[in-house]
């Protein structure tokens, strides 16, 4: 069994956060771990319904996700948060609150994220139909010292998930176990 930890994914919309988070979740479950994924889109629909996209509302949303991760991690669960979380200060707040915190930067260029834009959000933001869109008319502050950088233009989501598992082992959050390919 592992000790509780939060794996916090950050990156632009379309960078691969949710995809990698789901693969990581499956791998951890196969390993017998207790794990819960908090996806930014799902949280906005349920826990943070009614919040907009102002800096204050974004911070409130990310702090709510952080609080739930804190509760899960302190009870021995591996909490995986996949949310853009554009501001360093709020991610650092969550790191302080949670303690056992592994920041994963899903690194991907804005151009590539726009090419992957299955929801059409970048197109709407460029047309002025969506305001305060991260990376277009609202800033994204890359992490300065993430525990893991997944270059999602250079590696597959599967490779990124394996990289994160390796890092969790290095940091002592997982004991070394033989992994099976899913």
d(CA 137, CA 26): 35
List, in order, residues 6 or more apart from 128 with CB less than 8 Å away: none
Please state the length of the chain. Answer: 182
The pair of three-digit structure tokens given for residue 124, joined into one six-digit string? 């709407």
Residue matched to tokens 């033989």: 178
Cα–Cα separations (whole angstroms), residue 92 to 35, 54, 99, 103, 112: 22, 19, 10, 10, 27
Residue 181 has φ and ψ, to the nearest 5°, of -75, 130
Cα 12 from Cα 73, distance rounded (Å): 25
Catalytic annotation on 85?
Answer: yes
Candidates 13, 15, 85, 160; catalytic one: 85
**Residues with a known catalytic role:** 85
């Amino acid at each position: 069994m592992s000790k509780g930890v939060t794996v916090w994914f950050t990156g632009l919309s379309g960078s691969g956060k949710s995809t990698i988070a789901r693969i990581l979740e499956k791998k951890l479950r196969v390993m017998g771990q207790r794990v819960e994924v908090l996806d930014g889109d799902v949280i906005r629909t349920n826990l943070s319904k009614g919040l907009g996209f102002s800096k204050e509302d974004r911070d409130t949303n990310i702090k709510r996700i952080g609080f739930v991760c804190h509760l899960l991690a302190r009870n021995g669960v591996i909490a995986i948060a996949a949310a853009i979380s554009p501001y360093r200060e709020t991610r650092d707040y969550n790191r302080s609150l949670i303690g056992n915190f592994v920041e994963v930067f899903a690194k991907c260029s804005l151009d590539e994220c726009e090419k992957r834009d299955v929801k059409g959000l970048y197109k709407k933001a460029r047309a002025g139909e969506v305001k305060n869109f991260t990376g277009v008319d609202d800033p994204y502050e890359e992490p300065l010292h993430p525990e893991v950088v997944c270059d999602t233009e250079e590696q597959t989501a599967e490779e990124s998930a394996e990289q994160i598992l390796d890092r969790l082992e290095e940091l002592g959050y997982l004991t070394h176990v033989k992994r099976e390919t899913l």
